[in-house]
Amino acid sequence: MPKQLKKRPIEKELKFLADFEIYGVLMFAGMYFAVKYIVDMDCGNKAFRLNWVSFYPLLVFSTIVIEGSFYWRNKLKMVKRQKALSNIEIGRLYNKLRWINVILLTTYLPVIIIAALAKADLSGIIAGILLYLFAVIEQINYFHVRLSYETVNGFLLVIEPLKKLFAGTGRRSQLRKDIDAYLVHRKISS
> pTM of the prediction?
0.82
State pLDDT tens for residues 146-160: 776 555 665 656 666
Highest mean pLDDT among 66-70, 110-114, 118-122, 155-159: 66-70
Confidence of residue 2 (pLDDT cuts 50, 70, 90): very low
**SS3 letters across 8-35:** CCHHHHHHHHHHHHHHHHHHHHHHHHHH
Average pLDDT over residues 38-58: 69
CA distance 103 to 96: 11
CB atoms within 10 A of CB 89: 13
CB 68, CB 134: distance < 8 Å: no
Confidence of residue 161 (pLDDT cuts 50, 70, 90): low
pLDDT of 53 reads 86
Q: ∠ CA(106), CA(29), CA(125), 5° rounding? A: 50
Higher pLDDT, 141 or 35: 141
> Three-state DSSP class for 169?
coil
22: pLDDT strictly greater than 50: yes
Confidence of residue 123 (pLDDT cuts 50, 70, 90): confident
